[in-house]
Structure 1
Amino acid sequence: MLRPEVQDKYLVGTTPPISFLPYLVFASFLVSLTGTFTTVELLHRRASGIGWRPWADIAICSVTFGLVAVWCMHFVGNRAIILGDGELEIQLYYDETYAVLSAILPIIPIFIGLSVAIRFHELGRRAIVRYGSLAVCGLCTGGAATMMHFLGNIGIEICSMSANWANVVGSAAIAVVICSVGFGLFFYWGKLWMNNIWRRIFVSITLAVGICGMHWTAATGTWYQIQSYHDGEEADQNVNLIVAYCLLTISCIACVILGFIKQRQRKEEKSRAQQAVLAIATFDPSGKLLVNKTGLMPCQTIIQHFNQGAFDDELDPSHPVFQWIFRVTRNWTGISDLIPSMRENLQLVGYLEATSSGNKRRNSLHESDDATSSATFRKLFCVTADEMATALDIGLEKLGCLYEDVLTTGTMTNNRGTWTGTHTTKTTPDVNMTVNDLESGRVEPVVFGKGQMLILSRKIDASEAHRLQQLGYSFAEIEQVSHNIARSLQIPCGDLEDLIIRLHAFSERQYSVPKRGTYLASFLVQPRPGMKSMDVVVPRANAGRLPMVKLDDDQLDSHQLKVLSTFHGLTLDRCLARIKASSETNTKVSAFMRKFGSQIEALLRECPEEALHFAIFSAQQLDMVNGQTDFSQAKVFAFCGIKEIYVQSLQSFSLKAIPFSFFKTYLRSQTGCADHAVLVQRNYDEFGCLQRAQSDAETSSSSLSSKWPWSLRKEKSLSSERSWNEEANSVDNLVNHRLHTRTLTAASGHSMWGRVVMTSMEDIKSPKSKSNFKVEMHSMKKAKSNMADQENQTLADLLMMITTAFRGSLMSRLPTSVEPRTKHSFA
């Protein structure tokens, strides 16, 4: 009820004194900070790309900023304003219509400002466009906050408001400038992937300071003239305050939920470092790496818990599964039609769940799945690659080629090498290792490894890069994202930077086969410790070819071939000595011999290995691409040698050793190679029956269920048996390939060295069960019956047979000590 003494004390038209409640002033800042922090976190986690979801996320951010950070702060702050001595009849009360309008209308310019900043700052190519978009964002958000303040004050019922224009202009300037700075820092740091939690808190504080600064700058320059008196309940003064606290509570709950989401993401990153993962390394024309909003490479789990014991051997470049994937990624069209049936089969046998997300639906391979794990893993890889191609909105054939090594994740080490396994401590020397490390053969071992990552690498043009940016991806310098990626993979940052450099170089490789010419090559094989396999020395920059130099621009004539035949069976040093001591009178022959000598020296510079001096020259002229003279007419002569088993290091940073079987995989993966068609046919023989098998299983299930109540158990048994048979056949195919390789090699000799060469191929493990024994016996029969369908011998196969034929001379000429060499000069 209206009291007469209040009317006498505060006449209509008078201006009562103003005071402020300090605790509510501070509370208003906390309210604004909660709103800005919620907005910044939602912006950080917003969806990108095309569709309704990105716009919905921007709308939610606009609501939290306009409704919580500005509107709630305004009414909590105004509740701190006390007119007179606090009499209820003359305090600030608000009209509901203006209160609602002041909550809704500012959201529109905030939405416009954020949309402009997201669209033009993240995708803009010119600096003026990016910085202009940030200015528009600051103008819209700061202007919206100022508009809300004065629109809300217009709704005051019992007082008329008067404001100092200097305070009005100053408050608007504060809001616009500080909002421009705050959102500018957010988008700038986000583009550089430095947008960590502390930086986002700083942005939130900056925005809250701007909003509160605007509010209190305007409030201190405002006075109120009494026009009437409030004749109602005391609770009317706190209506807007209660609404503000309700919205604040919702915002706090949202912050808690976002915190849980962040913890879950970190947990997923840690678990992903312990899984088998497929990643995409895409580089734009300037060499920047494609990353998502969080600064990570696009990746997806192949299988959650990778059990190395499920395979016969370690998954590395020497493993048939890795080599199969390596070849398939260079001819995606040969497998793309089979992926739908692979997905259905994996769902049928329980490795995929149709209703689950990609990263959550893969079970683990167990050691008991020895006969089927190979096929299952390959099918999971193909399905994962297809899903990633869909996410990137590209065709599977444009996804990229498999990198030549396996990255082990979840490791903690200071070495500068790339570890290629999970159960051993072997390391492939990296270009950053010192000479002493290489000479001593010592590399710091990896302490532990938990996961493995297969990486597809490719390079795209500017138009494709712009299309991916429109989908919400970005391209970053290595230094900008290396820490984020290394932390997620749990590997040293230096190792990751070295890997990305190698991935970029890998994506730029040109796998071209010479069409014409005659070449002189070095074929050096190196037995691994234990004589279980063989490595081949290849250039580090291009592991798909041997170290070689051009001997002639065209094929050699009969006279030149006759000259080379005189060097057959001689070591490289003896060839140089004979050329130097030659007294040939024929001018053409003499010139050719000098050219031959100079190219031998060039080959030594290309491959400066001690073993090459004792390598034996083969005058047998080989095709660069064996059996495909229509594709390439280039010819090769080679020096064939064997490195000492106890000298595993190489003398040059430009060389490296790769498994012999993997080198053959490289040769079979060359563009235009006829073996692509053979692999496609094998894949159709292996996986083409999956969909038919599923249809048969469904038919059998329906017929049984109509008659017998125990048909469910029968259905499970039938589908499991079919799945085992299909996947066992897939193991047959890989085994057949290895049997064929061993047969070719064994034909070249039966001595000790011949047996060493045979063991260099992928040996078949001893059967652990009767089922495995049946699989291998069936494979041997199948290998004999399908010899006509086998792939052609590669250049590596022919050179290995030549090396085996020279085995006696090579073993007797291996050096026992390093002697100084006499330099020969052929002008």
Structure 2
Amino acid sequence: MLNPEIEKKYPIGSRPTISFVPYIIFCSFLVSLIGAFTTVELLHRRVSGTGWRSWVQIAGCAVSFGLVAIWCMHFVGNRAIVLGDGEDEIQMYYSSTYTAISAVLPVVVIFLGLSAADRFYKGNKGSVVRFASLGVCGLCGGAAVTEMHYLGNNGTTNYHLILSWSHVFGAALMAVGSCFISFGLFFHWSKHWMNNIWRRIVVALFLAVAVSGMHWTAAAGTWYEIRGYHTGSGAERNINLIISLCLCLSACLVCFLLGFIKQRQRRMMKDRAQQVVLAIATFDPQGRLLVSQSGLMPCQTITNQFFRRTFDDEFNTSHPVFQWIFRVSRNWIGISDLIPTMREHLQTAGFLQVPTHGSNSRTSMDDDEDSDASYSAAFRELFCVTAHEIAKTLDTSLQNLGCLYEDVLTTGTLMNRALWTGNYGNRIIMAADVARKDVEMGTVTFGRGQMLVLTRKVNTTEAHRLQNLGYGFAGIEQVSDHLARSLQIPRDDLEDLVGRLQAFSERQLSMPEKGTYLTSFLVQPKPGMKGMNVIVPRATPDRLPMVKLSAEGLDSRQTTMLSAFNGLCLDECLSLIKQRLAAPSDDALFLGQFRNTIHDLLKECPEQALHRATFSAQQLDMMHGMVAQTDSNRPTVFAFCGIKEIYVQSLASLTLKTIPLSFFQAYLRSRPGCADHAILAQKNHKEFSSLHQVPSMTKLPPRTRRTRWPRALRPKQSESMDMSWQADTCSEKGLVNMAQAPAEPTTHAWGGIMVTSTQDIHIGETKEGANMEMHDLGVSAKVGVAETEEQTLADRLMSITSSFRDPYAARPPPNRK
């Protein structure tokens, strides 16, 4: 029953006095701040684009902002309004219908605004479109705050609201302006990858001010006229308050989970900086780097650590595994169909665990002669499977993933810490100086990580496609801090690295034009006699320092003149040319041209060792294994061959550098159109594939059939081709038609292969079977599928260099190859 004193004290139509509870006002601001911060965090972790996942995440942001930051703040704030002397009968009570509508409507409005900003601001649109999208987002945000407030207040069952229109417009303007500033700052910082935690807190504060400021500005211009009394229990006032507090606690839980996930990602990035990682460096036409929403390059762990048997066994450009990856990345089609087989083998062998996404583990290797080969095969399989996984995340094929960068990059250098200082002078012992030795595994591992990078440059269409997937292109100055922290390397080193990656992605194939060239082939032993390096230009390491001697091929007279210099060092060649030019002759023009070319070569390669390099009159073909050009158009080269002293490791020119000789050979075998691509693909199929069976002419005996045991774990077999084959046991049956030689090369799973030597095949029937004897006819022709790779230009020059250094070896005659 209604107390008569209430009717007498507060008659219908009267306006009771208004007072506020200060601590509840502060609590309402905290509720708004929690909802706003949750919204900003969800926006920060959203996926841009038009996929369903992006829509779901934007809907979550709309729910967080519309339901928690606005709706909960409104009803918690209204709980701070005390009418009259606080009697329960005259306090504000709300209609459930209006309350439900006021909860749904702001979510819908803010969803539209966030969708417009996310769709149009992040794309490569004009400034007018971007600012218009921010305007729509700010307008929708302000409208959501304003309409929720007045719609919720109109749901009061016992009051008629009297509004001051100046306060209404002022509150709406404050809400729209604050939302425009906050969302504008967020999307601007997010576009430039400056959206760190402190900037997101600033955005959340602006949003909280937008909601709370609008609410209390509107409340200051609102009077309440009694039109009825509440006769029920006063506890009904707390229903909306309890619901708001529950939603607020849920938002706090979401923030806690997001923080936990962030910390876990940071730990993973630190761990990844100590692992072997495959990263993708993709550049758009403006030279900007492809990064994820968090400002990181797409990357994935290959394995926890590349195991080394000795201190000298370093995973670098001279390692056979790196050179294999380098060549495979330039002909992905030769390995792409083996990915399912590799994945199955890794799962069977325990190197790849299926339940955990992206987790790679290694099994223990027995310390025997086959363990190195087994781990090498497993690591190569892990690389291919990892590359395939990254290609799927980028929604592209493996062939479009890019080429491997020409170096193994070191990460985790900032993880080193000073371990101790003591009575050892001023030296600080770093963690990187201490190696950890695993006695049971028989291996030595180090604390720093390594990164392999696949690079490419995409056009505008591909750049837009990647942006629609949720990635973005950023300048290095925008993401350098975050990216350097994730890789645990200094920022200056990162900027230098990205510059080198961009230059590598734009490097064009340095194929020499038609003509005759003069080159320097200078090799140098590595310290500790760990192999040989070769001096190459820094800008084009796939070719030797060279200058053009003649735009056309040399005639027989000119070739004969050069043969007189065979075996002489460069200074002796210049002296002999000077002597011959002293007497007038018809050869003076060519000799002068030869002398000028030698001086140009000295400018190209200003090494003191070149003066002692020996001239070879052998005219060598520079187009290793490439059949696109005819013999008349193929460039040839004459070389000065020499060996530099081991104790002088520095170079005289900054335009030169040294690379391992084996890596230079890998460069030559990786050129487009080279037949070695198909030969390597054939070897890969023989090693990894248990599904691609080669058809044979006769049925193999049961004891010679292939087993299902992974090939990578079998004993390593010789890959060289014997000069005689046994017909009934040959694993290459079906590759060559013995009945009739085909007119064109046969197409196989690994492609057709060209060889440059014809074999005369004689088949003799014996009791043991058909033996095929091959004789070299010395001419070029197409004979089917080759088994071994030809010698590269580097191999031939190294052979010439060795022959010059051997006093007992006969010097090769000057002829044209």
Distance 2:799 2:237 in 1: 96
SS in 2 for 1:327: helix
Relative distance call for 1:675 and 1:628 in structure 2 (3 A) is same
Distance 1:190 1:643 in 2: 53
Aligned pairs (5 A) from 1:370-769: 370-412=372-414, 449-583=447-581, 589-626=587-624, 628=626, 631=629, 633-689=634-690, 723=709, 726-729=712-715, 731-732=716-717
Distance 1:664 1:658 in 2: 10
Q: Is the 8 A contact 2:624 2:674 kept in 1?
A: no
Return the offset for 1:266: 0.6
Deviates more, 1:275-284 or 1:369-378: 369-378
Return the offset for 1:331: 0.5
Relative distance call for 1:691 and 1:70 in structure 2 (3 A) is farther
**Post-superposition CA distance 1:648-674 (Å, at most 9, x none):** 111221111110001000000011111
Q: Is the 8 A contact 2:273 2:487 kept in 1?
A: yes
Matched, 1:327 2:331: no
Q: Is the 8 A contact 2:721 2:787 kept in 1?
A: no
Q: Is the 8 A contact 1:306 1:364 kept in 2?
A: no
Q: Which amino acid in the other structure matches residue 531 of structure 1?
A: M
Return the offset for 1:788: 6.9
Deviates more, 1:615-624 or 1:297-306: 297-306
Q: 1:184 maps to what in 2?
A: 184
Deviates more, 1:9-18 or 1:573-582: 573-582
Distance 2:373 2:691 in 1: 17
**Post-superposition CA distance 1:43-73 (Å, at most 9, x none):** 1112344531111111111001000000000
Q: 1:159 maps to what in 2?
A: 159
**Post-superposition CA distance 1:321-348 (Å, at most 9, x none):** 1111111110011111111111112122
Return the offset for 1:562: 2.1
Q: Which amino acid in the other structure matches residue 272 of structure 2?
A: R
**Post-superposition CA distance 1:402-443 (Å, at most 9, x none):** 1111112111399xxxxxxx9999xxxxxxxxxxxxxxxxxx
Q: 1:73 maps to what in 2?
A: 73
Aligned pairs (5 A) from 1:34-73: 34-73=34-73
SS in 1 for 2:547: strand
Q: Which amino acid in the other structure matches residue 390 of structure 2?
A: M
Relative distance call for 1:304 and 1:531 in structure 2 (3 A) is closer
Relative distance call for 1:317 and 1:93 in structure 2 (3 A) is same
SS in 1 for 2:264: helix
Aligned pairs (5 A) from 1:776-795: 789-795=787-793
Distance 1:14 1:173 in 2: 31
Distance 1:237 1:13 in 2: 22
Relative distance call for 1:486 and 1:309 in structure 2 (3 A) is farther
Distance 2:484 2:366 in 1: 30
Q: Is the 8 A contact 1:623 1:633 kept in 2?
A: yes
Return the offset for 1:188: 0.9
Relative distance call for 1:735 and 1:69 in structure 2 (3 A) is farther
Matched, 1:215 2:220: no
Distance 2:671 2:584 in 1: 41
Q: 2:702 maps to what in 1?
A: none
Q: Is the 8 A contact 2:415 2:488 kept in 1?
A: no
Q: CA RMSD in A?
A: 2.7
Q: Is the 8 A contact 1:310 1:370 kept in 2?
A: no
Q: Is the 8 A contact 2:626 2:673 kept in 1?
A: no
Q: Is the 8 A contact 1:345 1:690 kept in 2?
A: no
Distance 2:649 2:490 in 1: 25
Relative distance call for 1:515 and 1:243 in structure 2 (3 A) is same
Aligned pairs (5 A) from 1:15-414: 15-309=15-309, 313-357=313-357, 359-363=358-362, 366=365, 368=367, 369-412=371-414
Return the offset for 1:364: 6.2
Identity among equivalent pairs (%): 59
Structure with a larger share of its residues in helix? 1
Relative distance call for 1:278 and 1:30 in structure 2 (3 A) is same
Q: Is the 8 A contact 1:103 1:148 kept in 2?
A: yes
Distance 2:145 2:719 in 1: 68
SS in 2 for 1:204: helix
Q: Is the 8 A contact 2:159 2:226 kept in 1?
A: yes
**Post-superposition CA distance 1:739-773 (Å, at most 9, x none):** xxxxxxxxxxxxxxxxxxxxxxxxxxxxxxxxxxx
Relative distance call for 1:214 and 1:736 in structure 2 (3 A) is farther
Distance 1:7 1:798 in 2: 112
Distance 2:476 2:807 in 1: 50
Distance 1:216 1:590 in 2: 99
Return the offset for 1:724: 6.4
Return the offset for 1:306: 3.5
Distance 1:268 1:549 in 2: 50
Q: Is the 8 A contact 1:409 1:449 kept in 2?
A: no
Return the offset for 1:800: 0.3
Q: How many residues of Structure 1 are paired with residues of Structure 2 in the alignment?
A: 708
Alignment gaps of 5+ in structure 2: 417-430, 435-444, 695-706, 723-784, 809-817
Relative distance call for 1:77 and 1:627 in structure 2 (3 A) is closer
Relative distance call for 1:406 and 1:366 in structure 2 (3 A) is farther
Distance 1:629 1:42 in 2: 56
Return the offset for 1:3: 2.0
Distance 1:162 1:228 in 2: 15
SS in 2 for 1:123: coil
Relative distance call for 1:493 and 1:732 in structure 2 (3 A) is farther
Distance 2:96 2:6 in 1: 25
Distance 2:404 2:150 in 1: 61
Q: Which amino acid in the other structure matches residue 398 of structure 1?
A: N
Relative distance call for 1:301 and 1:169 in structure 2 (3 A) is same
Q: Is the 8 A contact 1:139 1:180 kept in 2?
A: yes
Q: Which amino acid in the other structure matches residue 609 of structure 1?
A: E
Q: 1:439 maps to what in 2?
A: none
Instruction: Give TM-score, length-normalised by structure 2.
Output: 0.83
Relative distance call for 1:35 and 1:409 in structure 2 (3 A) is same
Q: Which amino acid in the other structure matches residue 556 of structure 1?
A: L
Distance 2:143 2:321 in 1: 61
Distance 2:10 2:432 in 1: 87
Deviates more, 1:21-30 or 1:568-577: 568-577
Distance 1:601 1:284 in 2: 41
Distance 1:53 1:515 in 2: 52
Q: Is the 8 A contact 2:158 2:230 kept in 1?
A: yes
Return the offset for 1:394: 1.0
Distance 2:55 2:278 in 1: 30
Q: 1:799 maps to what in 2?
A: 797
Return the offset for 1:578: 3.2
Return the offset for 1:642: 1.2
Return the offset for 1:593: 1.9
Q: 2:768 maps to what in 1?
A: none
Q: Is the 8 A contact 2:689 2:711 kept in 1?
A: no
Q: Is the 8 A contact 2:185 2:203 kept in 1?
A: yes
Distance 1:361 1:187 in 2: 36
Return the offset for 1:628: 4.9
Relative distance call for 1:400 and 1:488 in structure 2 (3 A) is same
**Post-superposition CA distance 1:63-88 (Å, at most 9, x none):** 01000000000011111111122121
SS in 2 for 1:648: coil
SS in 2 for 1:408: strand
Q: Is the 8 A contact 1:526 1:536 kept in 2?
A: yes
Return the offset for 1:574: 2.6
Return the offset for 1:453: 0.9
Return the offset for 1:612: 1.3
Distance 1:175 1:169 in 2: 10
Distance 2:519 2:534 in 1: 12
Q: Which amino acid in the other structure matches residue 574 of structure 1?
A: E
Distance 2:62 2:479 in 1: 29
Relative distance call for 1:592 and 1:809 in structure 2 (3 A) is farther
